């Protein structure tokens, strides 16, 4: 229905919304499911719904709990609600599952035998601990790897098993299983004694807490009258149960009436929070980490009387893109039919391209980007997606050479860097001295000559004398160590004590100093920063800069949270993945995996590597529901595009040092031939179509000749030309920094042959040569790295 036909209501929260959107904002009832197709305006609906609850005085801000999966989504939602209702938004809990749980758990920590200052272990910490435990239990003899154990424990916790409950149902007669159970139990003990929780615990412990202490649960049930959950299709079992617990009726005072019978005193028995969930089962792509699509598909059964509203009108993409998306996702059986549509017209065709190799494919993309750029498209409106991270390399190599600025999204995270983790470990060692892992981590950082042997000695001393590892550091003299090592330990102990005094002063002493000062003290007095500065390794220079950045983060934190404690800071660090948000990278092409792309949108999208064994990924074939999830992933990729969608693939792909030939993805066949305009189709590349499915794209042969490779004739089946293009590009860093080029020069390029320089732009390391090649057309080349030599 065209928007024009929707009558204005005079209500700013409803105007501009289509009828189902309005209903989703206005419906009041105990449970509401909003099935929001890609690009259907779900965030808008969600924020307007929250705003309308507030505006109509149906709820106080403090009675609203809105849950998202990522911090970014939470921040965006808060911002948008604030835009509508202003200051009021401050009192709402808009947060991720994990932050909401941490908030609850810190408050209630004593109830379950932890202290407020518990540490949160990320997967790296968990891995480090499990590595030790697997070794101690000799798990490798039974084929147990730390990675496998980690993922299994995580899955079990997501299913709300703990080590003991799992033990009772495990098959102990299988030795590998027995060892696994032992490791799991030991792991749980270590976490407990370290006063630490892993990510999965945050959810599971909250559920356990609610179940074990109904009065605690009631506190939160009374408080949150409206619970809203975004991306509901991505919830795992623990998250689902958490929602269930929160939306149960307030139980009221329990009275033991004898004989173990419990009576409930009547207290507002229908007082249960209203639940709104938003999601799209077609965008469920996280089953591999425990997301259970049934949570959303069976919502109406789980919550009887639930209302379901379907949002199918898409405000993002052109109809051609939506048709492509619909025609792909339609092939998933067992799904509620849903068809995205738009009133914005068909738009441009989807463009297909088949390269000889991944580099050929990348070159096409680079050329297209350059062409679009010439037409006024911003780099920041362009994104390149791929299934696996390893695919980014070839793209990067070509983009660098073509002088296309890009950024890899969701790559290595700031807080994952070793030096940052070290610095954080210093802080943790102060705040939560029970955290053995943190203390061990900093034991020999910077190098103090304390190796594995000494570490074991300290651990043994601690165990023998019934003290923590941290406490043992204060008794270096009693361990029979050499004088050098003894002094090193004493020095570390002193540094930690000094930091403790200023960060966590005893009652009545001076107030605690800022996190910034504490961190500075730790980094300086420990000698950590000095060691990096003195180092010859050029990488260490960057590490120092990262530490400076971390110090800056602490300052920023203090500014944003005047009352923020060091515990708050560490919580934020543990739960917020990157310090620099991915957003607003203006003027840069975004590269990312399909998973990272979820929730984002771009004018122009290049979906690369559309090949069998990549998408669907080969490993997914053996997993139940695997191929279907891959199809959803492909669907997610397609629906990110607003105006232009490119689907590209390569005939050969070099992986693991081997070149193998690739076949077009089955998903390509699912898109009607008429929707794709092939610049170079797989069948053309394959002569008689041998080896590949014949794919629609018949009438495109003429267009193929005007592709970016200019007049160079395609020579299908020509093995030598394939070989020529495979692995031509090496990762080796060239440095042509001193190469002097001026307009008119003749150059030889490894891939493109001979050409004439038209112009030179840019400065220094960013000098760009604009070259007219005889056979490959005009290219922009970054002189510093392009594989070129001057001839004549």
Partner DNA sequence: GCAAACCGAATTTTT
Partner DNA sequence: TTCGGTTTGC
Q: Binding site membership: which residues?
A: 36-43
Residues in the chain: 792
* Selected binder of DNA within 238, 243, 489, 575 (CB under 7 A): 575
Residue 450 contacts DNA per CB under 7 A: yes
Q: Is 43 a catalytic residue?
A: yes
Helices 146-158 & 199-212, crossing angle to 10 degrees? Answer: 30
Closest separation in Å from C-beta 732 to DNA:
8
Beta strand 31-36 pairing with 307-311: parallel
Residue 447 contacts DNA per CB under 7 A: yes
Using CA atoms in the order 275, 279, 280, 285, what is the torsion angle rounded to 10 degrees? Answer: -120
Nearer Cβ to DNA, position 91 or 449?
449
**Sole residue written with tokens 């997967």:** 123
* Selected binder of DNA within 165, 215, 269, 390 (CB under 7 A): 390
Where does this chain touch DNA (CB under 7 A) — which range of 281-289, 519-527, 739-747, 762-770?
281-289
Closest separation in Å from C-beta 618 to DNA:
8
* Selected binder of DNA within 300, 370, 490, 623 (CB under 7 A): 623
8 A C-beta contact, residue 396 and residue 628: no
DSSP, res 59:
S
| Burial (CB count within 10 angstroms: exposed 0-12, middle 13-18, buried 19+), residue 735 | exposed
Kindly name the residue from 108, 125, 230, 282 that is annotated as catalytic.
230
Closest separation in Å from C-beta 544 to DNA:
18
Which of 462, 396, 386, 344 lies closest to 733, judged by CA?
Answer: 396
* Cα three-residue angle 330-288-195, rounded to 5 degrees: 150
Closest separation in Å from C-beta 577 to DNA:
3
* Selected binder of DNA within 274, 620, 700, 736 (CB under 7 A): 620
Query: What backbone torsions phi and psi does residue 130 show, to the nearest 5 degrees?
Result: -65, -30
Residue 540 contacts DNA per CB under 7 A: no
Closest separation in Å from C-beta 357 to DNA:
14
Which of 186, 175, 170, 172 lies closest to 132, judged by CA?
Answer: 186
Residue 363 contacts DNA per CB under 7 A: no
Greatest alpha-carbon pair distance for the chain in Å reads 102
* Selected binder of DNA within 103, 167, 272, 595 (CB under 7 A): 595
Which of 197, 287, 303 lies closest to 246, judged by CA?
Answer: 303
Burial 130-154 (b: 16+ CB within 10 A, else e): beebbeebebeeeebebeebbeebb
Nearer Cβ to DNA, position 98 or 225?
98
Q: Which two tokens stand for residue 32?
A: 């509401």
Residue 121 contacts DNA per CB under 7 A: no
Contact pattern from residue 726 through residue 755 relative to DNA, giving x for each residue in contact according to CB under 7 A and a dash for the rest: -----x------------------------
Write out the H or E segment, with its range, that includes residue 47. Answer: helix 42-55
Q: How far apart are CA 37 and CA 321, in angstroms?
A: 14
Kindly name the residue from 11, 26, 43, 185 that is annotated as catalytic.
43
Where does this chain touch DNA (CB under 7 A) — which range of 302-310, 616-624, 742-750, 770-778?
616-624
Q: Is 233 a catalytic residue?
A: no
Residues in 32-61 at the binding interface with DNA, rule: CB under 7 A? none
Residue 657 contacts DNA per CB under 7 A: yes
How many other CB atoms sit within 10 Å of the CB of residue 431? 26
Nearer Cβ to DNA, position 200 or 367?
200
Using CA atoms in the order 682, 687, 690, 691, what is the torsion angle rounded to 10 degrees? Answer: -40
* Selected binder of DNA within 459, 531, 577, 723 (CB under 7 A): 577
The full DSSP string for 111-154 is: GGT--TT-EEE-HHHHHHHHHHHHHHTTGGGGT--HHHHHHHHH
Which of 616, 666, 673, 627 lies closest to 334, judged by CA?
Answer: 627
Nearer Cβ to DNA, position 442 or 592?
592
Residue 71 contacts DNA per CB under 7 A: yes
* Selected binder of DNA within 249, 410, 474, 716 (CB under 7 A): 410
* Selected binder of DNA within 184, 199, 210, 646 (CB under 7 A): 199
Residue 700 contacts DNA per CB under 7 A: no
Nearer Cβ to DNA, position 446 or 689?
446
* Cα three-residue angle 314-290-414, rounded to 5 degrees: 80
Q: Is 248 a catalytic residue?
A: no
Residue 512 contacts DNA per CB under 7 A: no
**Sole residue written with tokens 């401050």:** 90
The sheet carrying 753-761 orders its strands as 777-782, 768-773, 753-761, 746-749, 788-791
Q: Which two tokens stand for residue 96?
A: 């991720």
Nearer Cβ to DNA, position 579 or 669?
579
Kindly name the residue from 22, 42, 80, 767 that is annotated as catalytic.
42
Nearer Cβ to DNA, position 319 or 596?
596
Nearer Cβ to DNA, position 74 or 675?
74
3-state secondary structure of 777: strand
Sign of CA dihedral 94, 96, 97, 100: negative
**Sole residue written with tokens 């703990």:** 162
Q: Which residues contact 510 (CB under 8 A, 6 or more apart)?
A: none
Nearer Cβ to DNA, position 613 or 684?
613
Contact pattern from residue 468 through residue 487 relative to DNA, giving x for each residue in contact according to CB under 7 A and a dash for the rest: --------------------
Closest separation in Å from C-beta 287 to DNA:
8
Residue 388 contacts DNA per CB under 7 A: yes
8 A C-beta contact, residue 410 and residue 582: yes
Where does this chain touch DNA (CB under 7 A) — which range of 509-517, 573-581, 667-675, 778-786?
573-581
What Å distances lie between residue 185 and 195, 228, 518, 586, CA to CA? 15, 35, 35, 49
- Calculate Rg over the CA atoms of the chain: 30
* Selected binder of DNA within 451, 674, 699, 737 (CB under 7 A): 451
Closest separation in Å from C-beta 173 to DNA:
27
Q: How far apart are CA 751 and CA 224, in angstroms?
A: 63
Residue 69 contacts DNA per CB under 7 A: yes
Residue 452 contacts DNA per CB under 7 A: yes
Query: What backbone torsions phi and psi does residue 646 show, to the nearest 5 degrees?
Result: -115, 130
Q: Looking at the DSSP assignment, which residues form a beta bridge with residue 474? A: none
# of chain residues touching DNA (CB under 7 A): 45
Q: Which two tokens stand for residue 416?
A: 């994952």
Residue 142 contacts DNA per CB under 7 A: no
Residues in 289-308 at the binding interface with DNA, rule: CB under 7 A? 289
Residue 96 contacts DNA per CB under 7 A: yes
Residue 454 contacts DNA per CB under 7 A: yes
Detail the residues annotated as belonging to a binding site for ATP: 36-43
Contact pattern from residue 425 through residue 444 relative to DNA, giving x for each residue in contact according to CB under 7 A and a dash for the rest: -------------------x
Residue 421 contacts DNA per CB under 7 A: no
Where does this chain touch DNA (CB under 7 A) — which range of 186-194, 313-321, 501-509, 622-630?
622-630
The full DSSP string for 534-551 is: H---HHHHHHHHHHHHHH
Looking at the annotation, which residues are catalytic? 42-43, 230-231, 283, 640
Binding site for DNA (CB under 7 A): 69-72, 96-99, 122-123, 131, 199, 286, 288-289, 387-390, 410, 413, 444, 447, 449-454, 575-577, 592-593, 595-596, 617, 619-620, 623, 626, 630, 656-657, 731
């Amino acid at each position: 229905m065209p928007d024009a036909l929707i009558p204005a209501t005079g209500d700013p929260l409803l105007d501009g919304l289509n009828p189902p959107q309005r209903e989703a904002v206005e419906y009041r009832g105990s449970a509401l499911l909003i099935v929001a197709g890609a690009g259907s305006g779900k965030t808008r609906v969600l924020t307007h719904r929250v705003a309308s609850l507030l505006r109509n005085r149906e709820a106080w801000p403090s009675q609203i709990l809105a849950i998202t999966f990522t911090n970014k989504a939470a921040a965006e939602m808060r911002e948008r609600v604030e835009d509508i209702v202003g200051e009021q938004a401050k009192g709402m809990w808009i947060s991720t599952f994990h932050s909401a749980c941490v908030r609850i758990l810190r408050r209630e920590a004593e109830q379950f035998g932890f202290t407020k200052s518990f540490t949160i272990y990320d997967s790296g910490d968990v891995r480090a601990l499990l590595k030790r435990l697997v070794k101690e239990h000799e798990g490798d003899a039974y084929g147990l790897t730390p990675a496998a154990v980690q993922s299994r424990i995580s899955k079990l916790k997501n299913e709300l098993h703990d080590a003991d409950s799992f033990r009772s149902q495990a098959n102990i007669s299988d030795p590998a299983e027995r060892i696994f159970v032992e490791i799991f139990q030991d792991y749980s003990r270590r976490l407990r004694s370290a006063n630490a929780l892993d990510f999965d615990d945050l959810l599971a412990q909250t559920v356990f807490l609610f179940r074990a202490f109904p009065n605690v649960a009631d506190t939160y049930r009374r408080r949150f009258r409206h619970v809203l959950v975004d991306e509901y299709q991505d919830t795992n079992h623990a998250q689902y149960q958490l929602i269930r617990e929160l939306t149960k009726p307030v139980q009221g005072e329990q009275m033991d009436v004898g004989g173990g019978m419990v009576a409930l005193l009547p207290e507002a028995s229908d007082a249960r929070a209203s639940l709104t969930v938003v999601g799209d089962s077609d965008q469920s792509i996280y089953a591999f980490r425990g997301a259970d699509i049934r949570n959303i598909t069976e919502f109406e059964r789980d919550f009887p009387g639930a209302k379901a509203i379907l949002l199918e009108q898409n405000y993002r993409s052109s109809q051609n893109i939506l048709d492509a998306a619909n025609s792909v996702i339609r092939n998933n059986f067992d799904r509620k039919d849903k068809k995205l549509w738009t009133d914005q017209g068909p738009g441009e065709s989807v463009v297909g391209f088949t390269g000889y190799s991944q580099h050929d494919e990348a070159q096409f993309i680079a050329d297209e980007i350059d062409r679009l750029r010439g037409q006024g498209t911003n780099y920041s409106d362009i994104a390149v997606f791929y299934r696996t991270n390893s695919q980014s390399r070839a793209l990067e190599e070509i983009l660098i050479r073509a002088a296309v600025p890009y950024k890899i999204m969701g790559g290595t995270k700031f807080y994952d860097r070793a030096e940052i983790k070290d610095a954080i470990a210093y802080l943790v060692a102060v705040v939560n001295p029970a955290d053995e892992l943190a203390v061990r981590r900093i034991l020999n950082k910077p190098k103090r000559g304390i190796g594995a042997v000494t570490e074991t000695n300290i651990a043994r001393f601690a165990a023998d004398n019934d003290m923590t590892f941290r406490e043992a550091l204060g008794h270096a003299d009693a361990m029979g160590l050499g004088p050098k090592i003894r002094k090193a330990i004493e020095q570390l102990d002193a540094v930690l004590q000094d930091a403790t005094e200023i960060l966590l002063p005893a009652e009545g002493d001076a107030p605690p100093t800022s996190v910034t000062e504490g961190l500075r003290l730790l980094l300086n007095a420990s000698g950590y920063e000095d060691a990096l500065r003195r180092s010859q390794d050029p990488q260490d220079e960057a590490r120092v800069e990262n530490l400076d950045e971390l110090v800056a983060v602490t300052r920023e934190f203090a500014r944003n949270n005047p009352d923020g404690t060091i515990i708050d800071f560490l919580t934020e660090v543990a739960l917020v993945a990157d310090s620099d948000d991915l957003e607003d990278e203006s003027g840069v092409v975004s590269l990312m995996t399909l998973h990272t792309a979820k929730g984002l949108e771009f004018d122009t999208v290049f979906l690369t590597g559309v090949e069998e064994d990549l998408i669907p990924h080969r490993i997914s074939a053996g997993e139940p529901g695997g191929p279907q999830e891959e199809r959803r992933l492909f669907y997610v990729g397609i629906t990110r595009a607003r105006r232009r969608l490119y689907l590209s693939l390569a005939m050969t792909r070099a992986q693991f040092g081997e070149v193998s030939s690739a076949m077009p993805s089955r998903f390509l066949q699912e898109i009607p031939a008429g929707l794709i305009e092939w610049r170079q189709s797989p069948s053309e590349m394959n002569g008689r179509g041998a080896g590949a499915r014949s794919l629609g794209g018949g009438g495109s042969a003429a267009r193929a000749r005007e592709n970016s490779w200019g007049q160079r004739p395609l020579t299908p089946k020509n093995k030598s030309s394939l070989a020529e293009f495979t692995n031509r590009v090496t990762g080796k860093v060239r440095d042509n920094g001193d190469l002097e080029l001026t307009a008119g020069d003749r150059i030889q390029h490894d891939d493109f042959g001979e050409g004439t320089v038209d112009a030179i732009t840019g400065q220094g390391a960013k000098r760009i040569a604009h070259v007219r090649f005889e056979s490959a057309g005009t290219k922009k080349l970054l002189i510093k790295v392009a594989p070129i030599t001057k001839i004549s």
